Amino acid sequence: MKRLRTGGGALLLAWGVLAWGAPAWAEGEEAPGPVEVEMTEFRFTPDTITLRAGVEARLVLVNRGAVMHEFASPYLAEVGVAVETDGIRVETVGLGEVEVEPGHAATLIFTPEAAGRFVFLCGAKAPVDHAGEGMRGTLIVQ
């Protein structure tokens, strides 16, 4: 899997985990605009995100915290994902995580396929284990 790091004007590919969300909408409706997910010490807001299977989703990860945060979920390990940040767009299959530096943002664009409930979390460990401090959430795909 791939990991993307944002901030400092560069996008680096490595290995890792990721996820996404938006409110549900009626079938046949146009997909809603981007949904902002705020990342701070040590929480995601919102921490429950609902998507519709087969409808393109856009998740804007905004780090308003003081340290680097990650957005990770096994759900996107097999899904095609585009990540846009700092004027760069990267498309991949099997995205692991997106690291977002303080004051930066990244937009995830993907079409959820499998329905169910899936975890997302911050895998960062500095200065403490972010997920262990409660920085996790639920992705619901209907």
pLDDT (tens digit, 9 = 90+) per residue, 86-126?
Answer: 889 999 998 889 999 999 999 999 999 999 999 999 999 99
Domain that holds residue 59: 2-141
- Is the N-terminal amide bond of 118 cis, ω within 30° of 0? no
Q: What is the pTM of this model?
A: 0.79
Report the CATH number at residue 34.
Answer: 2.60.40.420
CA dihedral 85, 89, 91, 97 (to 10 degrees): -10
Q: What's the pLDDT at 109?
A: 95
SS3 131: helix
Predicted confidence band at 78 (pLDDT cuts at 50, 70, 90)? confident
Cα(110)–Cα(93) distance, integer angstroms: 10
How many distinct structural domains can be found in the chain? 1
Mean of all residue pLDDT scores within the chain: 83
Structure-token pair, residue 98 = 């997106």
- What is the distance between the alpha carbons of residues 2 and 78, in angstroms, rounded to a whole number? 11
